[in-house]
Amino acid sequence: MIEHIKGETGTQRTLGYTVEVGHPDGGARCWLDVSDAHVNRHDVLHGGIAATLLDNAMGATSSLTADDSGRVPFLTISMTTQFMAPAFAGKRVTAAGRVTGGGRSLLFLAADLIDEDGRLIASATGVFKRARLDTGGDA
């Protein structure tokens, strides 16, 4: 069953995107209905917001390797993003993450950001590491 995670973080509340977990392929989705609040001076989706959606889709997909909630914390170690086409206000864009490799300490992921017409807006690859919970001791 697909679960919609909304308003869980300050970034999510500010930008208004939704994270979906529970897809049969094991990947998380992150979607946003692009509005005037999300566009740059050229009236297209701001690249930083596109990168945020891709990062969240890959991070949640990483989390799904640890449990089904998609909430186990993973840190982005590195991320490379390529922008292919503009996205416009009034359109929904969806980033879908997938694991491409990794081992015990690092995961390699990829994600594509596609608009509702099926056009590839941006893609990204990243390296993610499971976060250790702070035990309150010295580092």
Q: How many domains does the chain have?
A: 1
Give the span between the Cα atoms of 61 and 36, in whole angstroms: 28
Give the span between the Cα atoms of 117 and 52, in whole angstroms: 21
pLDDT in tens, 59-104: 999 999 998 888 889 999 999 999 999 999 999 999 999 999 998 8
Residue 138 — φ and ψ, nearest 5°?
A: -70, 145
Is residue 135 predicted with pLDDT exceeding 50? Answer: yes
Model pTM score? 0.93
Tokens 């186990």 sit at which residue? 72
pLDDT of residue 139: 47
Tokens 């990062």 sit at which residue? 55
CATH code at position 7: 3.10.129.10
What are the strands of the beta sheet with 18-21, ordered from one edge? 3-6, 18-21, 29-33, 92-102, 107-115, 120-130, 74-83
- 55 inside domain: yes
pLDDT of residue 106: 96
Give the span between the Cα atoms of 106 and 12, in whole angstroms: 25
- 27 inside domain: yes
pLDDT in tens, 1-54: 999 999 999 999 999 999 999 999 999 999 999 999 999 999 999 999 999 999
Question: Residue 40: which domain range?
Answer: 3-130
In one-letter notation, the amino acid at residue 94 is T
pLDDT of residue 90: 98
Query: Beta 18-21 vs 29-33: how paired, if at all?
Result: antiparallel
- 136 inside domain: no
